[in-house]
Structure 1
Amino acid sequence: MSEENVPVPGQHADEPHRGGMAQRLNWLRAGVLGANDGIVSVAAIVVGVAGATTGIDAIVVAGLAALVGGAVSMALGEYVSVSSQRDSERALIAKETEELATMPEEEFEELAGLYRAKGLSEKTAYLVATELTEHDALRAHLSAELDIDPDDVVSPWHAALASALSFFVGGALPMLTILLPAAYRIPITFAAVIVALGLTGYAAAAIGGSPRWRAALRVVIGGAIALAATFIIGRIFHTSGV
């Protein structure tokens, strides 16, 4: 059994302390947010166009453009953002590695001082610093000083892929419902989007550990406002003949 799969004594089942948590949470966060953005963005555009015209060709073209463009944009944005985070973490790891190699005594005193600052007695702080340094000095310093796990540096490719795929999946829902007959497409799209947003809002809150129904309600209200606004704009253009 690998070290990252060894259970920690006293660890609760719902509180994993190791095993790539930053990677998984980053992937899940990108996925949920991507799906939410896909639902709202594509739905707002197709509903707006459907408010202006019943011509299905214009609605489909606008929806597909929003779907593909949004997925690419989400992937690029997530990749750039997470790449910056990864580069910062790698730079900090390299800096700490160099300091441990060139000034080990100063680094040891710093580590012991960090534990004293957390409330340990001087004797206990030195004992903890000694044992952790003997076990894995770099990991001990990264954890205590920078809250970094060297085996858990986030992947920009994972985040970008999750964001793009989830945006595409989320955006596919309003694309499908807007293809219904003209009499049903807008109300059914509204209903489907509201339900889907409630689910993504609930999931995002569950991942982050925040109140779930409150988060779901916020997302639903925001999405409903976006759809209503674009539909009204579409109707204005329709009635004005523009």
Structure 2
Amino acid sequence: MHIERHKNHRIGWLRAAVLGANDGIVSTASLILGVAAAGVDGKHILIAGVAGLVAGAMSMAAGEYVSVCSQADTEHADLERERRELAAYPEHEHAEMTSIYVERGLDETLAAEVARQLMAYDALGAHSRDELGITDTSAARPVLAAFSSAASFSIGAILPLSIVFWAPAALLIWAVASGSLALLVSLGVLSARAGGASMLVAGARVSFLGALAMGLTTAVGTLFGVAV
């Protein structure tokens, strides 16, 4: 018996986890490097890093909640409209489903029968899935998305922030930069492995963008020589 093991069921949580952790590492490390490059002492660097962690986690949670709520509102409005149309124009909705299945390769007679049987079983579910593209796995969950984003951001931010505790002041910038790049490469490799993509491409991509962000903020701190 041939069993196919696909990875698309991981898309929802993997996207949120990678986005949050990557943002936590990059933004916190960049903030630390920018402040450190301005010549600020370790205590104030740590305060800036913790403040960045809290602000970033709350921003991620709020942003994700608002954006997913917008998605949920749209989904609910579409489903309500579909519910009304099914009640008022069942024949039209059946013809609509039939045309969808014809476009997917079924002949018209079979498509009409498939549409009839699916609509008899769960008309709204069939239209939600095949016409609107809304499924149980893709449905918007604002609270879960907000908590997931905040948690993954916090985990990502704690990693470069922890380097500040043990790195010598003279080597702080190099320790945070190199440590954060190593973390970004590891994150890219792990996410690629979980999603079945190229680990080399993912690691190179995330490390290049992270290095660019950290380099620019370090340059800003060095240029202006003030605490950000």
Query: Is the structural similarity TM-score above 0.5?
Result: yes
117 and 205 in structure 1: CA distance in 2 versus 1, 3 angstrom threshold: same
* Greater Cα offset, 66-75 or 226-235: 226-235
SS in 2 for 1:178: helix
Looking at structure 2, the residues matched to 114 and 104 of structure 1 have their Cα atoms a distance apart, in angstroms, of 15
In the other structure, the counterpart of 1:29 is 15
What TM-score results when the alignment is normalised by the length of structure 2? 0.88
- 1:53 and 1:184 map into 2 onto residues whose CA distance is 13
- Aligned residue for 2:208? 221
Instruction: Choose which of 51, 54, 66 in structure 2 pairs with 1:80.
Output: 66
Partners of 1:228 and 1:192 lie apart in 2 by 14
Whether contact under 8 Å (2:61, 2:150) holds in the other structure is yes
Structure 1 residues 59, 220: CA separation in 2 closer, same or farther (over 3 Å shift)?
same
Checking the alignment, whether the CA contact within 8 Å between 1:139 and 1:150 is kept in structure 2 is no
- Aligned twin of 1:200: 187
Q: In the alignment, residue 183 of structure 1 is paired with which amino acid?
A: A
Aligned equivalents of 2:216, 2:136: Cα separation in 1 = 47
Report the Cα offset of residue 210 of structure 1. Answer: 4.3
Counterpart residue number, 1:165:
151
The letter for the 2-side match of 1:84 is S
Pairing partner for 2:4 from 12, 17, 21: 12
Q: Name the CA shift for 1:69/1:53 in 2 (closer, same or farther; >3 Å).
A: same
Aligned residue in 2 for 1:181: 168
Partner of 2:78: 92
Superposition RMSD on alpha carbons, in Å? 2.3
Please identify, of 45-54 and 156-165, the stretch whose mean Cα deviation from structure 2 is larger: 45-54
Instruction: State the match for 1:68 in structure 2.
Output: 54
Q: Which residue of 2 aligns with 1:211?
A: 198
Give secondary structure in 1 for the equivalent of 2:61.
helix
Name the aligned partner's letter for residue 14 of structure 1: H
Structure 2 spans left out of the alignment, 5+ residues = none
CA contact (8 A) 2:97 2:115 kept: yes
Q: Deviations over 1:96-137 (max 9, x none)?
A: 111111111111111112212222112111121122122211
Q: Secondary structure at the match of 2:51?
A: helix
Q: How far apart in 2 are the matches of 1:109 and 1:139?
A: 16
Q: What amino acid maps onto 2:223 in structure 1?
A: I
Equivalent residues of 2:28, 2:157 under 8 A apart:
yes
Q: Which moved more, 1:211-220 or 1:167-176?
A: 211-220
Q: Which runs of 5+ in 1 are unaligned?
A: 1-8
| Counterpart-to-counterpart distance in 2, 1:57 and 1:118 | 62
Identity %: 42
Structure 1 residue matching 2:131: 3-state secondary structure: helix
Q: What displacement does 1:207 show?
A: 5.4
Q: Conserved in 2, the CA contact under 8 Å of 1:26 and 1:154?
A: no
Aligned to 2:89: 103
- Distance in 1 between the 2:39 and 2:114 partners? 70
AA matched with 2:53: L
TM-score, normalised on structure 1? 0.84
Equivalent residues, number: 225
For residue 33 of structure 2, the aligned residue among 47, 51, 66 is 47
| Correspondence list, 1:222-241, <5 A | 222-238=209-225
Q: 1:151 to 1:66 in 2, by over 3 A?
A: closer
Q: How many angstroms apart in 1 are the aligned matches of 2:174 and 2:190?
A: 25
1-structure distance, mates of 2:38, 2:21? 26
